[in-house]
Amino acid sequence: MTRPVLGLVASAAGGVETWLRPGLAEPLARQGWRLAITLTPTVARWLEPQLGELAALTDLPVRWTSRLPTEPKPHPVPDAFVFAPATLNSIAKLSLGIGDNQALTVLGEALGRRAPMVVLAQVGADQSHHPAYSGHLAVLRDAGVAVVSGGPEEVLEELAAVAPFVAFDKWA
Ligand SMILES: Cc1cc2nc3c(=O)[nH]c(=O)nc-3n(C[C@H](O)[C@H](O)[C@H](O)COP(=O)(O)O)c2cc1C
């Protein structure tokens, strides 16, 4: 039996270094998800001291760079995605289809497939008033993405709503 795969993607928003692992990655792993973790290059640098602890939650490598064309794909295609936290920068790129790093590449493909996806937007007040921001959120929501702005608990709740088909008893 294969466990459902969750693409867990993170970008560089403040506080991620304190809550990503204990607040989100560990609960998701406990729920039974097989985690395919991909980081933006900036947050990979921020999380460098705890990359080993993140990697210990999954049998799949934690990614932040693209593979060479001659290398096999390190991750299987995930059943669902969580993008948390999502910066203004990465939300803009995702809505426009810009895949200039591995995290945005995998999210862009998932959006194209309309894979179940929860995005935890973490933007400051000034950032949220950027004239393009509301349009970028609308693009994501129109594609079926659940955009939330609370915390990791809200992500866990929304994921259960958008990916109910991922019945864990299929691998129990
Ligand atoms: C300490 C710190 C906290 C930050 N917090 C946020 C944040 O909450 N939201 C945000 O959109 N950008 C935040 N930024 C800015 C992003 O890190 C920056 O735009 C970066 O280029 C985002 O890269 P990424 O989207 O590729 O991870 C923060 C930067 C620093 C240094």
pLDDT at position 24 is 98
**1 has a pLDDT exceeding 70:** no
Domain that holds residue 89: 5-170
168 or 134, which is more confident?
134
Closest CA to ligand 1's atom 17: 12
Closest CA to 4 of 55, 65, 77, 68: 77
Query: What's the whole-model pTM score?
Result: 0.96
> Domain with 32 in it: what CATH number?
3.40.50.1950
Per-residue pLDDT of 25-44, as tens digits, reads 999 999 999 999 999 999 99
Closest CA to 89 of 66, 77, 107: 107
With a 6 A CB cut-off, is 149 part of the ligand 1 pocket?
no
Per-residue pLDDT of 101-155, as tens digits, reads 999 999 999 999 999 999 999 999 999 999 999 999 999 999 999 999 999 999 9
With a 6 A CB cut-off, is 90 part of the ligand 1 pocket?
yes
Residue ranges of alpha helices (H) inside the chain are 16-19, 26-31, 41-46, 51-55, 88-96, 102-113, 125-128, 133-142, 152-162
pLDDT at position 2 is 80
Closest CA to 43 of 14, 78, 74: 14
**171 has a pLDDT exceeding 70:** no
Domain tally, the chain: 1
**65 has a pLDDT exceeding 70:** yes
CA 145/CA 111 separation, integer angstroms:
8
With a 6 A CB cut-off, is 107 part of the ligand 1 pocket?
no
Reported as a pLDDT band with limits 50, 70 and 90, residue 88 is very high
61 or 163, which is more confident?
61
